[in-house]
Chains A and B, each alone.
Chain A
């Protein structure tokens, strides 16, 4: 699903070593937390997976695509295999909940009929069926994050990446979101949650990969590391 082989990333603009010889392998259907404090290299990790940046050395395989060999025009098709949940939700304020989710389907050229069938189903899945016609400003943080999650799910990606999904919402809502991600994972979708909240991670029994200073310092699934 996701494989990093000896990946290093140095930003040529400022010479920062963001990732240093990282090896990670995440299989299909896994639920993985990537934990690290800010500046540890989490953002670079995500940018590399999305092919927004290329590694300085090493190779990355995401959903069977070799990213360093992937031509630019194929990048959109890589991104269609993953759904992204952002810390700040990234909802379009002038669109309703329904339209925000439908937007992701329009962007990949889905037909109206398909949109009309799929969006209500996904909104129901995240428990927002009754909020379809509301605007994001009328929703709580937790609800907005569920819209963001619905948008990430709507194109049925094999992989969901959540970047600090609980960063902007109440603690009790945070658990709810992770629970929801767990539900989605049980249906077969690979889930990758990037967070700095160790407490939250501990209460779920999932695999945890810790990054610090551009290096993987622990992986609960890997015997080479001590479990935290």
Chain B
């Protein structure tokens, strides 16, 4: 049907006619989508980290600062005798400081060699049964000369609670933004319809069906949704690259990149954009056609 081409053209004309509102709708929808995408990326990576960290069954035991190397090495035997401990490995102060230097750069730790090294001797311990984790930790802490115990599990727990907090927060924000974008899009379309009420009135008087009247406005909404989705994808790509390269400096980890989850994300964004756009316009068209646009003007 040749009128399809005509209707699509009309839809695009509407977008330009209402530039400011179009931009406002897109802005809100884009923030909504970018936030959703960020939350998804964050959740994926946080849970990756949590999984990998939680799985490494390694607990670090720090010894008292004033302990000599000999005493420290000797502590190993005692630690190995603790119930549920299967393996202990001694870590020299120098090794520890070297690990920090590797991670964080030379300069800061340059003068912390030998006797100036502020780090204590430590052991990494492997447990047999992780379900007895807490009791084992208590027993290790009871060994004289043990200053503190740090476990990746605590880090993992903190990360889990942080990521679930962020997820919940962003879920609410996303929900609010979705409602706002629906509202703004439907108002944008309503304004377009209002500014076209004269044409619509003529259309109805010459016998255009409601579907015919609707199509350009639906197209307007769908295009707003689609363009917003595409811009969001681009923004998210840049944003996640920047954040991940920054995160690598703090913690080297095989982060999930945006490109790895890009296709389902693009599909979801386009679907969401089209849905919000179509829904937003459908709502306003319905209202318009049953109220002010129902009649032939001024009769």
Contacts and interface: CB of A to CB of B under 8 A. Distances in A.
A76 B289 CA distance: 14
Given A50-B296, A103-B202, A107-B212, A79 B2 contact: no
Given A43-B299, A50-B296, A112-B2, A79 B207 contact: yes
A107 B203 contact: yes
Interface residues of A, number: 28
A52 interface: yes
Contact of B206 (A47, A52, A80): A80
Interface in B166-200: 198-199
A155 B206 contact: yes
A108 B207 contact: yes
Contacts of B199: 92, 103
A79 B201 CA distance: 12
Please classify how large the interface on chain B is, using the bins under 10, 10 to 19, 20 to 34, 35 or more: 20 to 34
B157 to A, nearest CB: 61
B212 A109 contact: yes
A109 B1 CA distance: 8
B11 to A, nearest CB: 14
A35 interface: no
Contacts of B66: none
Interface in A78-100: 78-80, 83-84, 88, 90, 92
A103 B212 CA distance: 12
Interface string B234-270: 0000000000000000000000000000000000000
A106 B3 contact: yes
Given A47-B299, A50-B296, A92-B199, A151 B206 contact: yes
B209 A106 contact: no
Interface of B: 1-3, 6, 198-199, 201-210, 212, 295-299
Interface of A: 43, 46-47, 50, 52, 73, 76-80, 83-84, 88, 90, 92, 103-104, 106-112, 151, 155, 163
Considering the complex of A and B, which 3 residue pairs feature the smallest CB-CB distances, nearest first? A80-B207, A79-B207, A107-B208
9 contacts: A47-B299, A52-B295, A76-B207, A76-B208, A79-B204, A92-B198, A92-B202, A107-B206, A110-B3
